[in-house]
Structure 1
Amino acid sequence: MHASDDTNRYQEVLVNPMYLAGTGGTADAGFAPVAHWPHHHLDEGPCQLLVTSPDHRIRIGWFGDDFELWKITATEEAVAAPRWTAIFNHVAPPEIVADLTTALARDYAESDAYDDNARFLAEPSYRWADAAQPLTDAGWTRDGGAERGTVEIVAPDGQAGILIDNRLSGWDDETVTLWAGPPGWGSRSEAVFTARTPSHLIAATAVVMAKPAPVVRERHQIDRQVEHLVTLTPVAPDVSVPSAAEPSVFRAPTPLDVRRTAVTQAIHRAARPSHAAADLRVMAAQSRSAGAVRSRSGGLAPAAAVRLPANSSAPRHGR
C-alpha cells in the first residue's frame, strides 16, 4: 500500500482493468444483489456477516479478518452439507463477487421452495469450456504451458486467467480457480470453486472480468505490486461553467457516468459509520483492525476497513 505521507493516498481513481483493483475495503457491492435476503450479524465469530436465502439453502458469509474473505455455499436442504462452495480471497474485488450473488439471487427467484431441481443446484457441465465461455468470447486464450490434465485461459495482458482442473477428483475438491494479479499475498486475487459448482455460476462470475469498465478505488488501496499494471484515472467532477454568451446545455449521463457515481457513493457511505438495520457494511472489522488506520481527517478509521492478518499463511493457489 502507499506510504502514509502520500498526499494523494485518498484520491479516488478509476482503476482499469477492474480485476486488479483489489477489494477496496468494503463488501457492499457483493451483498447488493441479495440485500433483500435475511442478514445475520455475527460480530463474535470469524464470519462477521452471513446473508442467507429465505430457506437457508444459499449462504453468503463475509469473514472480515481472514485470508478467505468470502465463503458462499449451496445445499439441497437447510441443514445439509454444502453441495458446492465458492471461496474468494481478501484481494478479490467485490464487483466479481457481485456477479455470483446476482446469479444466485436470480436462480433462487426462479425456483420453487425446496426445489431439488433449482438451477443453483444443477450438475456442472461435462464441457470445461462452458465455465470459461465469457472469457474466451472476450478474446482470452488458452495457455499451452498448463499442467497435464488442466486447462488455463489467460487474459490478453497475461495478468488474469481461469485454471480448470479436469483430473479425477472428489466432489469437495477445488477444481476451478479464477485468478488475477502477480503472485503474492497482497497482489493475487483468487476465486476458487469446488467440483460440483454449476458451470453457469462460474461463467457468471467470470463475466465482469471480461468487461473493460473500470471501478473506483482510493489510491492507497492499490497494491504496489500492481501499480505498474493498471491505469489510474483521477475521479473529478466536471466544474466547467458555461460563459454568459453560451446557454447551459444539459448532457445526459453516460452509463460510465452512472457507474462512477454509484460506486463513488457506495465508497463514501462505507466510510461513514451507520447502525441502521438495513446497513450492509460490516462494522466489526473496524474493532478488529491491526492498528489505527488514518482517515482523511486524521481521525477515525474507515468503518468497513478490512484487516489482513499479519501472520496468515500464503495463498494455497499462489502461482
Structure 2
Amino acid sequence: ADGTVKILPPLHTLINIDDQIIVIAEDDDKIILSKDYLGPTSLPVINHNAVSLSTQMTRRTTKIVERNLLLGWNNTAPLTIKELDTYVARGSELHILTNSDEIKKFINEQLINEVTEQNIFVHSGNLTNKFDLEKLNLFSYNYIILLANEENKEQNLSEDADAECLICLLHLRDIIDKSNNEKKFSIVIEMHDIRNRQLANITYADDFIVSPHLISKYISQLSENKNIKRVYDVLLTADGPEIYFCSASMFVPLETPISYYEILQETLKYECIAIGYRLMKYLHDETRFYGIVLNPDKQEQVIFSKHDKIIILAEQFISSSQDNCTNF
C-alpha cells in the first residue's frame, strides 16, 4: 500500500486488500483470474516451516571477480562501465579495445577514477580486425560486451555501426568454431536496427541483442501503466533480483512429465521463482524462440532432458557448481 515493490517477498507475506499483485502476462487481456480467487483453493498447501535450501544451492555472500572485454565505443559506454562496476567484485578486470587516442585519454584521465571495483586495461585495435581480436585471448573473459561502435565521429551512422558489430560477431564465431577450448564466454551485443537481429542470430543464436527496439517496448509499457517503472527500477539495479538459467535437474526429475505448477512449487523451496524454461533441443530453432518458453500454462506438462534449463528470478542466488546456473 505504501508503494514498495517486492519482486520476491517472503513466503509468509500477507497480502492486504489494497495491495497490488505483479503479474507476468503476454498482455493485460490475457490475465484471467480464477473463479475461486477469493475463496478456498484446491491447490496443495506449502508447509512454509518445512521449506529449506538444498545443500546443492547456496546464497552468494560476495560478488564474483570477473574479467570482461568491451569492444566498440559510443556515448553510452561510460554509463555501461559504471553500471557494470556495481555488479562485480573488487579486483575485477575490464579490458577495452579501441584505436581512438581521444577515448584512451578519456579512460586514463577520467573514467578510471569513476570506478572502484574494476581495473581498466586499454588495448589498441579495431573490432573488425580478426588479428586484433585473437591477440586478446578471448577465452579468458567471462563476458564480451559489443557496443554499436561510434568512436569514429565521421562515420557514426547506425547502419555502419551495426555492420561493424556483425563483422566482429562473425570473427568471434569463427574463433569459437575453430577453437578446441571448452571454456565459453557470453556475448552481449548492442545494435541500432532490430532488422539486423536476424543476421546476428544466424551468426550466433545464443547471443543477446540489446537495441532501441527494447527501449520502445519499455516506453510502450510505461504509457499503459506508469507504476511499472517502479518494477523495472527494482529489476534493473544491482541489488534487485536477477534472472538465472539453471539446470532443470536441480529442481525436478528428468525424462518424467511434470506440470509447470509443480515446477513453480519446487523453485519456491529455494526462495526463488520460475518464470519459464528452455528446451535445448530447440537451441537453433527461431520458430520456437530458441527453446525459450516464458510464463507457460500451469497445467502444461513438460519433459526435461539433461541440458534443459529452468529460468528463475532470484536475489543473488547461485549453485555450488557454477556449471548448474548462469545469470544474465
Q: TM-score, normalised by structure 2?
A: 0.22
Higher relative contact order (CA 8 A, sep 6+): 1
Answer 1 or 2: which has greater helix percent: 2
The structure whose Rg is larger is: 2
